């Protein structure tokens, strides 16, 4: 079924519904989890080729992540679940996204069949762009060289984009972004992404301890595979795509109280309202400190006061990280 991020950006998961408006276009192929600066280089190359030829540009990606399919007991920490991936893709200027279901049967498709049946016969591509490390087909036989040769035989062009590096000369990768978040280095993760990372979940009822402390929170249960470092973060949040509101959040097990399952607890500054049952998107700007246990409620409240003041100062100085950050997250509050 076709879903729309906007009227101008179709997201297609069924090839039978592939829009004719995207045919004879340039496709960027990859998993694109995070749509980080390295991925953006691939997408940008596809856009440049497409615009030069006055044809559409779109992405071909796969859901769920292949590593999760092959190792379901250890699902991948997803940086951008499909809805967020589509939002960032749309922000790059692409004309649409094809998100094919990734199953073991799909993984068993021969590389030749992927090229002939999908790229040529279903998508009718004019040109394909991939990263240097993208492989496809059974046994990962579809190498960049394989794709070049197949394109030459089937009448479409192929461009392979080399590894993107950051200002320090290190490769930009999804695994590096995940490692930065796991270490609590949100600033580095956001720099590698080129936009500020966020999570999204439905606000659930909690123990309501925050009310008694003077800090009522919106509580979100994140996926179990989320490897974000426990700690206190300066954040912005919005409900159901509304206006961003500054705040401070704790992600962790609440060692002062119950040391329970990890929970994201968000306190929004200067806000009053009922968020239960709404989907809250929480954008992380910086980690303020690690989670810790306090010997008294008074000591905890005093620290929360300091955290709030620090978060306000951090958020007051935020500026967009670039055009994609501006398009995804909007101007600073």
Query: Do 156 and 212 sit in the same domain of this protein?
Result: no
Query: Do 207 and 296 sit in the same domain of this protein?
Result: yes
Instruction: State which H helix or E strand residue 268 sits in.
Output: strand 263-268
State how far Cα 172 lies from the chain centre. 14
In-domain check, residue 189: no
Structural domain tally of the chain? 2
pLDDT at 111: 95
In-domain check, residue 3: no
Number of DSSP helices (H) and strands (E) in the chain, helices first:
11, 13
Burial code (b: 16+ CB inside 10 Å, e: under 16) for 59-82 equals bbbbbbbbebbeeeeeebbbbbeb
> Which CATH number goes with the domain that contains 17?
3.40.50.620
pLDDT at 145: 94
> Which CATH number goes with the domain that contains 228?
2.40.30.30
Query: Do 22 and 153 sit in the same domain of this protein?
Result: yes
Query: Do 142 and 215 sit in the same domain of this protein?
Result: no
In-domain check, residue 96: yes
pLDDT at 207: 64
Alpha helices per DSSP H over the chain:
37-53, 66-70, 82-92, 104-107, 111-113, 144-154, 174-182, 186-193, 209-213, 297-316, 323-329
- Mean pLDDT by runs of 10 across the 333 residues of the chain is 59 94 97 97 98 98 91 92 95 96 93 96 97 92 95 95 92 96 98 97 77 80 95 95 94 82 94 89 97 90 96 95 92 72
In-domain check, residue 167: no
Boundary of a domain, candidates 161, 182, 212: 161
Strands across the sheet containing 97-101? 2-6, 9-12, 97-101, 57-63, 26-29, 127-131, 157-161
pLDDT at 312: 97
Q: Which domain holds residue 224?
A: 196-329
pLDDT at 4: 42
């Amino acid at each position: 079924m076709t879903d729309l991020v906007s009227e101008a950006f179709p997201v297609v998961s069924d090839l039978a519904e592939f829009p004719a408006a995207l045919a004879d276009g340039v496709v960027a192929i990859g998993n694109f989890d995070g749509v980080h600066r390295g991925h953006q280089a691939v997408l940008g190359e596809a856009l440049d080729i497409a615009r030069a030829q006055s044809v559409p540009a779109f992405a071909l990606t796969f859901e769920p992540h292949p590593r999760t399919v092959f190792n379901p007991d250890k699902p991948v920490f997803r940086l951008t679940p499909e809805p967020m991936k589509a939002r960032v893709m749309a922000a790059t200027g692409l004309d649409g996204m094809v998100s094919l279901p990734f199953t073991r049967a799909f993984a068993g498709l021969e590389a030749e069949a992927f090229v002939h049946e999908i790229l040529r016969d279903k998508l009718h591509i004019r040109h394909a762009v991939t990263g240097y490390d993208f492989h496809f087909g059974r046994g990962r036989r579809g190498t960049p060289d394989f794709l070049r040769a197949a394109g030459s035989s089937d009448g479409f062009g192929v461009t392979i984009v080399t590894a993107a590096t950051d200002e320090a000369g290190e490769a930009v990768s999804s695994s590096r972004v995940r490692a930065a978040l796991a270490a609590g280095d949100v600033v580095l993760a956001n720099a590698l992404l080129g936009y500020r990372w966020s999570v999204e979940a439905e606000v659930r009822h909690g123990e309501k301890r925050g009310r008694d402390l003077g800090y009522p929170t919106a509580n979100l249960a994140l996926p179990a595979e989320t490897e974000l470092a426990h700690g206190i973060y300066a954040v912005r949040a919005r409900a159901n795509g509304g206006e961003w509101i500054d705040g401070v959040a704790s992600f962790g097990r609440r060692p002062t109280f119950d040391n329970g399952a990890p929970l994201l607890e968000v306190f929004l500054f200067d806000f009053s309202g009922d968020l239960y049952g709404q989907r809250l998107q929480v954008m992380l700007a910086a980690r303020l400190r690690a989670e810790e246990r306090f010997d008294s409620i008074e000591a905890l409240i005093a620290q929360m006061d300091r955290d709030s003041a620090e978060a306000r100062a951090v958020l007051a100085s935020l500026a967009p990280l670039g055009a994609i950050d501006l398009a995804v997250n909007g101007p600073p509050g």
